[in-house]
Copies of this chain bind each other. A is one copy, B any other.
Amino acid sequence: MARRGGGRAARVRERTGAESGPVAPAFITRRMMPHDLLTPDGLDVIEAKADQILAEVGIDVNEPEDRDEFRRAGASIDGARVRFEPGHVRELARTAPSEFTQHARNPDKSVVIGGNHVVMAPAYGSPFVSDLAGGRRYASLEDFRNFVKLTHATPWLHHSGGTICEPVDVPVNKRHLDMVYSHLTCNDQAFMGSVTIPERARDSVEMARIVFGADFVDEHCVILGNVNVNSPLVWDNAMTGAIRAYAEANQAPVVVPFILGGAMGPVTLAGDIAQAHAETMVGVALSQLIRPGCPVIYGNFLSSMALRSGSPTFGTPEPAIGSLVVGQMARRVGLPLRCAGAFTASKLPDGQAMAESTMSMMSAILCGTNFILHSAGWLEGGLTMGYEKFVMDADLCGALHRFLEGVSLDDDQFAIDGFHEVGPGNHFFGSQHTLRHYETAFFDSTTADNNSFEQWRDAGESRTEERAAARVAEVLAEYEPPPIDESIDAALLDYMGRKKSSMPDMWY
């Protein structure tokens, strides 16, 4: 029985039994379907409200070239303000594919994004890292490479991610080169490129061309670029520039409003969802005007706020339930979805962190997210990448793999022979049915302690994060880089060297 989702590597490993660790898929093909919270009538209302926002209030698009795209497409332009008739952005977005393959350097690790597939990637964008031994500190390139290595070695992550943490020891204008080089050499999974300014996005594409070949890149998606709206209702030129750079190269922008309810959007969920839908669809429409049919991801990032302090909160119930509607909107318009992640406001990988992260990751699963950015490592509202948190979250990702398998009703799963063999009052421990299924029966967490109190006490009363710290050290010690053609590596180094020497260091 094929218990796990797609991917040639998984099938090969299942066939050959060549691996002793968990059999990991290249990505998940879910059997537990997303949850539909609202009826289609409810979705009609939300889309109508999003259309009303775009028609009455409009959205500011700072780059004249982009406004020209929208003008030519029939939008109404008033200064920077762009307004759309109801239904117009959805019509413009219609050429975007509902599902696409992002190719990895290792073809066995290419991922399908969209449909019933789920791809998990590490967290993104934190200036700090923390671990039990060293506490919280600015992230370095070494940290960045450590997280790429941890991702490569983690069976439950399918994607190398992007700016996992900011290597702040490398100049601002050059660090994207080191990050892309690390993704392309310390890991062989798919990855995300730079978005901070369009030239860096183009560098990311150039380096991918070295690895995959220019013709291949023009016809296949090999990079995602995470692009944020300046909510509420502003598309600035850095971000539309990144959409342009990736769309022109037939690569996939991930179009993401980041809305902290009460600040960058209403305090009420329905308004945030309608606003986010409007903002996302404008970005998707732009990508399709630039290159019709280019892959693009419908992104979303909803958050809430602590009422007493005004601080942002993460992993709370409002965005979790809101995500279910966001997922329905993405399916309604037929686009792959990025939503939710292992969010928390906690500064430590403690109880708060894992309660919040688990609620948010469960919402990602329930809402049908296809690309779960921030699946592992997130702490402190995204300001810190935690080493121990990373492996604790990775275990949660593993558990969610199993959750998404659903429940098999294959005849042997009912163990009728086992009931006949065992009978009332006896245990199944040694039964033939148990022996047949024992090895694959249950997900095995690397950080959970399931021993008796006495065993746990005598072993030193460890906390989860202490076991996780040991796991981090073990995985990094055992890490082996995936093979790469020497000439490709040399060409990447050459490109990076030339780019770096072509400009002075910039530190801001």
- Candidate in A357, A362, A438 with the most chain B CB atoms within 10 angstroms: A362
A318 within 8 A of B: yes
For A430-462 the 0/1 string (1 means CB < 8 A from B) is: 000110011101111101111111001100010
Contacts of A409 on B, CB cut-off 8 Å? 38, 42, 45-46, 270
Bound CA–CA A270/B35 (angstroms): 22
- Tell me whether A407 and B321 are in contact in the complex, defined as CB-CB below 8 angstroms, given that A52-B416, A232-B419, A392-B355 are known contacts: yes
- List 17 contacting pairs A-B, 8 Å CB cutoff, sorted by A: A32-B324, A46-B409, A233-B419, A234-B425, A262-B434, A262-B438, A264-B427, A271-B414, A307-B439, A309-B450, A316-B442, A317-B401, A321-B406, A350-B350, A355-B357, A358-B358, A384-B453
A228 within 8 A of B: no
- Tell me whether A358 and B347 are in contact in the complex, defined as CB-CB below 8 angstroms, given that A320-B403, A424-B60, A437-B268 are known contacts: no
Of B265, B269, B400, which contacts A407 at CB under 8 A? Answer: B269
A366 within 8 A of B: yes
A18 within 8 A of B: no
Q: Is A362 within 8 A of B358, CB to CB?
A: yes
Q: Is B414 within 8 A of A49, CB to CB?
A: yes
Of B309, B320, B444, which contacts A307 at CB under 8 A? Answer: B444
Q: Is A424 within 8 A of B58, CB to CB?
A: yes
Contacts of A233 on B, CB cut-off 8 Å? 419, 423-425
Contacts of A402 on B, CB cut-off 8 Å? 317-318, 321
Chain B nearest CB, measured from A82 CB (Å): 10
Bound CA–CA A37/B407 (angstroms): 8
10 more A-B residue pairs beyond the given contacts A45-B409, A321-B402, with a C-beta to C-beta distance below 8 A: A56-B420, A232-B425, A233-B425, A311-B450, A316-B445, A317-B403, A351-B392, A351-B468, A352-B449, A355-B392
Q: Is A309 within 8 A of B58, CB to CB?
A: no
Q: Is A428 within 8 A of B32, CB to CB?
A: no
- Chain A residues at the B interface, C-beta cutoff of 8 Å: 32-33, 35, 37-38, 42, 45-46, 49, 52-53, 56-60, 81, 136, 230, 232-234, 261-271, 273-275, 304-313, 316-318, 320-322, 324-325, 345-359, 362, 366, 380, 383-384, 392, 395-396, 399-403, 405-410, 412-416, 418-420, 422-429, 433-434, 437-439, 441-445, 447-453, 456-457, 461, 463-465, 468
Contacts of A419 on B, CB cut-off 8 Å? 53, 56-57, 232-233, 266, 271, 275
Of B275, B362, B384, B428, which contacts A267 at CB under 8 A? Answer: B428
Q: Is A266 within 8 A of B418, CB to CB?
A: yes
Contacts of A453 on B, CB cut-off 8 Å? 136, 347, 380, 383-384
Q: Is B350 within 8 A of A463, CB to CB?
A: yes
Chain B nearest CB, measured from A367 CB (Å): 12
Smallest Cβ-Cβ distance to A318: which chain B residue: B442
Of B58, B261, B449, which contacts A346 at CB under 8 A? Answer: B449
Chain B nearest CB, measured from A441 CB (Å): 4
Contacts of A468 on B, CB cut-off 8 Å? 351
- Tell me whether A408 and B265 are in contact in the complex, defined as CB-CB below 8 angstroms, given that A351-B464, A352-B354 are known contacts: no
Q: Is B321 within 8 A of A53, CB to CB?
A: no
Bound CA–CA A443/B347 (angstroms): 20
Contacts of A450 on B, CB cut-off 8 Å? 306, 309, 311-313, 345
Bound CA–CA A45/B295 (angstroms): 41
Contacts of A320 on B, CB cut-off 8 Å? 403
Chain B nearest CB, measured from A182 CB (Å): 26
Contacts of A463 on B, CB cut-off 8 Å? 348, 350-351
Contacts of A464 on B, CB cut-off 8 Å? 346, 350-353
Chain B nearest CB, measured from A340 CB (Å): 13
Bound CA–CA A356/B358 (angstroms): 8
Smallest Cβ-Cβ distance to A310: which chain B residue: B429
Contacts of A58 on B, CB cut-off 8 Å? 424
- Candidate in A264, A357, A419, A427 with the most chain B CB atoms within 10 angstroms: A419
Q: Is B444 within 8 A of A308, CB to CB?
A: yes
Contacts of A442 on B, CB cut-off 8 Å? 261, 267, 304-307, 313, 316, 318
Q: Is A407 within 8 A of B357, CB to CB?
A: no
Q: Is B32 within 8 A of A37, CB to CB?
A: yes
Smallest Cβ-Cβ distance to A393: which chain B residue: B355
Q: Is A266 within 8 A of B351, CB to CB?
A: no
